Structure 1
Amino acid sequence: MHVVIAGGHGKIALQLERLLSARGDTVTGLIRSAAQSADLKAAGARPVVCDLEAVSPEDLAGGLSGADAVVFAAGAGPNSGSARKDSVDRAAAALFADAAERAGVPRYLMISTMGIERAGAPGMEQEFTDYLRAKGAAEEDLRARRIGWTVLRPGPLLDEPGSGFVRLAVPALPLAPVPREDVARVLVELLDAHAAIGRTLELTAGAEPVAEAVRVALATA
């Protein structure tokens, strides 16, 4: 399988690249800066410099030709400002989907977030509200497409090592954290699961082994 990951230098993306390359998949990571290339190569991925805020869908589609799946793992990041929440978390996700459709890529996995429905809650900072709204808009755009999409909404992300045990279900799970490593493990399982197409799933730390959690969630969703 050839998988192209947008936001290839992100913490989840690097974990995912290690897992996919370790099992023999071909992995390409799109990055903003050539200075990030060494980290991707160490993870077993081929780095490609591509600014998702500047590239055209036509040019990006050329780079996705032949891919079996794409994963949108990009994000503007904390304290980047509301404008970049829109240009990356929403617009770049849509651009990536446009390019994937043009290239005939059959699968598109998006990393979103739990709590989208809380956007604008009393006391919430405006930038975080704009982030949640951008993610929500990106999800809506993806669901309207014919590509084989899957949306994964993890809870608050942890840098600690994953346990391999999670909770995965259709929305809405109680908000709880999850290690990034376990998010990457779930993404690997979802890439392989045809039943994941057209599904929106939420993810937290839990008590079920990853493979079993995915099997049960897809059987009951």
Structure 2
Amino acid sequence: MSIPARVAIVGGAGKVGRRLIPILLHRDHEVVALARTDEQLHELAGLGAAARHLDIEACDEPEFASAFGGCDAVVFTAGGGPDGNANRKRTVDLEGSLKSIAGAKRRGIKRFVQVSAMGVDAEPDPARGDVWTAYVYAKREADFALRGSGLAWTILRPGILVDSVGTGCISIDEKVVPGPIPRVDVAQTIASCLSRPRTAGHQWEIVTGPHPIGTVLDELTVA
């Protein structure tokens, strides 16, 4: 499997997506950033991406496939956000992922990196409310679907996302001790996975830690 030249970002206007764009551009990828509003598209174009319209909730599978035209990989980093709307956890976090998977398959795109969340295989704590429960189930089902998709997938499950300065160092494994991680380090990990075909077929939890991102990914995927 070759390293993708052009990468589509579903959720391009999100906090991880915006950080991912300049990292990919710096690594000589072309970036297609997908977003819903004209204002978002204008901002993403200003970051150097080819900005294309995609309304995750309103668009269907053929429209997703159309948005992925010319791309070699898809990154799904969209989320319904902390809006208190349980239904949007399904329509964005789950159905958006499912339509992205289907769109990639229609386009013949094999490489797919998905940002999920730590701990979603455990049963959600009812005390955290219906929105949290919906979020956990949506992420869990999206990951299950991607693992069975036949695509060359990587699933990253970060801990608590923060906006602090990145360290470039992480702890990453199938299970790690819960903790925070800057969004920019999640973006760096996505980019580093895209440049390492051997990361396909792996699902990892990630938090801030002692290991340089590239070094630890190479160690995890050594033949």
| SS of corresponding position for 1:65 | coil
State how far apart, in whole Å, the 1-side matches of 2:126 and 2:98 are.
29
State how far apart, in whole Å, the 1-side matches of 2:123 and 2:45 are.
37
Deviation at 1:64, TM superposition (A): 1.3
Q: Structure 2 matches for 1:53-132, cutoff 5 A?
A: 53-132=57-136
Deviation at 1:95, TM superposition (A): 0.4
Q: Structure 2 matches for 1:1-221, cutoff 5 A?
A: 1-170=5-174, 172-219=175-222
- Where structure 1 has 5 or more consecutive residues not aligned to the other structure, the ranges are none
Number of positions where the alignment pairs a residue of Structure 1 with one of Structure 2: 219
Q: TM-score, normalised by structure 1?
A: 0.95
Deviation at 1:122, TM superposition (A): 4.6
Query: 1:66, 1:105 within 8 Å by CA — same for their partners in 2?
Result: no
The Cα offsets for residues 4-43 of structure 1, whole Å up to 9 and x where unpaired, read as: 0001001111111011112221101110111112321232
Distance change (3 Å), C-alpha of 1:64 and 1:118: same
The AA in structure 1 aligned to 2:51 is P
The AA in structure 1 aligned to 2:26 is A
- Where structure 2 has 5 or more consecutive residues not aligned to the other structure, the ranges are none
State how far apart, in whole Å, the 1-side matches of 2:131 and 2:60 are.
27
The Cα offsets for residues 55-94 of structure 1, whole Å up to 9 and x where unpaired, read as: 1211221221321100001100012411110111001100
State how far apart, in whole Å, the 1-side matches of 2:161 and 2:220 are.
20
| SS of corresponding position for 2:221 | helix
Q: TM-score, normalised by structure 2?
A: 0.94
Query: 1:65, 1:105 within 8 Å by CA — same for their partners in 2?
Result: no
Identity of aligned residues (%): 32
